[in-house]
């Protein structure tokens, strides 16, 4: 499997995954032009995309869906609640091959795909795992907290793109964010803080995860250095050594086109 984080932040999220010559997207929160540019950096094109899997209806996850659906005739998967919101926003073109996650077993990709529910302030947020005969990977962001369902699905994944959205102290000092917004982000249906991400990362590494990519970092309340150092310290306290026991990095706001081999 190949994984390319095309963009990851509070403003735009899109991940390309490929196996057996067939590619797919998790979310399309960037413009269609940016999607094509990111894929080109990875020596791929939109012709390599066979399906799209949407996590939820917030704009940083579906911004480019309307244009994509006009240009690519591929199935788009989402939960029933998410489709209800997307259709009410007219955020997908007429004639799009709309599919529910109940039909995910029939997706035209070379991987087994599973959707699981996540705690976020949206209609019906989900995230996804992808597996071949040897390895399982996950893309999992927009989490207010780690639920038993999230834990069950991510345990045993070889690679996980996991949310590390904000540094609590940095957000407290941010005078541009009103109190109500900070409370929404901190809530059980908001986003995952660096420390919560680090605690769960310890669990994941202890159960077989060897590669972690921290994603959906807030550009106003976090930095890649803060997120990575917080996770690395937690893992070091558990006796795990970066580069020996696991690989750790932060996804770029706009991807470099670098593929992660799984």
Residue 180 burial (CB count, 10 A): 8
126-132: average pLDDT: 97
The fraction of the chain above a pLDDT of 70, given in percent, is 100
- The crossing angle, in degrees rounded to 10, of helices 194-206 and 224-237 is 40
What are the chain's domains? 2-261 (3.60.15.10)
DSSP helix, strand, coil percent of the chain (3-state; round to 5): 35, 25, 40
Q: Is the pLDDT of residue 256 over 80?
A: no
Q: Residue 137 and residue 37: Cα distance in Å, rounded?
A: 25
Q: Is the pLDDT of residue 247 over 90?
A: yes
Q: Is the pLDDT of residue 28 over 90?
A: yes
30-56: average pLDDT: 97
Residue 102 burial (CB count, 10 A): 11
Q: Is the pLDDT of residue 75 over 90?
A: yes
Q: Residue 40 and residue 109: Cα distance in Å, rounded?
A: 21
pLDDT classification of 84: cutoffs 50, 70, 90 = very high
Q: Is the pLDDT of residue 239 over 90?
A: yes
Three-class DSSP labels, 162-211? EECCECHHHHHHCCCCCHHHHHHHHCCCCCCEHHHHHHHHHHHHHCCCCE
pLDDT classification of 202: cutoffs 50, 70, 90 = very high
The separation between the first and the last C-alpha atoms of the chain, rounded to the nearest angstrom, is: 5
Q: Residue 195 and residue 201: Cα distance in Å, rounded?
A: 10
88-100 pLDDT, tens digit per residue, is: 999 999 999 999 9
Q: Is the pLDDT of residue 255 over 90?
A: no
Q: Residue 262 and residue 142: Cα distance in Å, rounded?
A: 23
Looking at the DSSP bridge assignments, the partners of residue 77 are 53, 99
* pTM tops 0.95, yes or no: yes
23-36: average pLDDT: 97
Q: Is the pLDDT of residue 262 over 90?
A: no
- State both tokens at 191: 């986003």
Dihedral angle over CA of 235, 241, 247, 250, nearest 10: 50
Collapsed DSSP state (helix, strand, coil) of residue 132 = coil
187-199: average pLDDT: 98
Inter-CA distances, 11 with 4, 31, 219, 240, Å:
18, 11, 8, 32
Output the pLDDT for position 169: 97
Q: Residue 64 and residue 12: Cα distance in Å, rounded?
A: 10
pLDDT classification of 257: cutoffs 50, 70, 90 = confident
Output the pLDDT for position 177: 96
- State both tokens at 144: 């207010």
Contact status, residue 143 vs residue 192, Cβ threshold 8 Å: yes
164-183: average pLDDT: 97
Give the H/E segment covering residue 78.
Answer: strand 76-78
Q: Residue 199 and residue 162: Cα distance in Å, rounded?
A: 12
- State both tokens at 29: 């929160």
Q: Which residue has the tokens 């972690």?
A: 212
């Amino acid at each position: 499997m190949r994984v390319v984080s095309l963009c990851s932040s509070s403003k735009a999220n899109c991940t390309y995954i490929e196996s057996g010559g067939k590619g797919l997207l998790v979310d399309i929160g960037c413009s269609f032009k940016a999607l094509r540019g990111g894929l080109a950096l990875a020596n791929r094109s939109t012709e390599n995309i066979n399906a799209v899997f949407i996590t939820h209806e917030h704009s940083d996850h579906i911004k480019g869906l309307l244009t994509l659906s006009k240009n690519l005739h591929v199935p788009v998967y989402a939960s029933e609640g998410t489709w209800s919101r997307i259709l009410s926003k007219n955020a997908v073109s007429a004639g799009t091959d709309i599919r529910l996650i109940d039909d995910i077993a029939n997706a035209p990709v070379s991987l087994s795909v599973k959707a699981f529910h996540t705690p976020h302030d949206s209609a019906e947020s989900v995230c996804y795992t992808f597996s071949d005969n040897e390895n399982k990977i996950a893309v999992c962001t927009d989490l207010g907290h780690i639920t038993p369902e999230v834990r069950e699905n991510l345990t045993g994944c070889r690679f996980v793109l996991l949310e590390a959205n904000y540094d609590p102290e940095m957000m407290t000092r941010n005078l541009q964010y009103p109190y109500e917004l900070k409370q929404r982000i901190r809530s059980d249906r908001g986003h995952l803080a660096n420390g919560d991400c680090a605690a769960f990362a310890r669990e994941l590494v202890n159960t077989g995860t060897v590669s972690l990519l921290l994603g959906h970092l807030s550009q106003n309340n976090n930095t890649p250095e803060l997120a990575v150092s917080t996770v690395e310290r937690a893992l070091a306290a558990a006796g795990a050594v970066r580069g020996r026991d696991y690989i750790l990095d932060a996804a770029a706001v706009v991807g470099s086109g670098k593929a992660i081999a799984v």
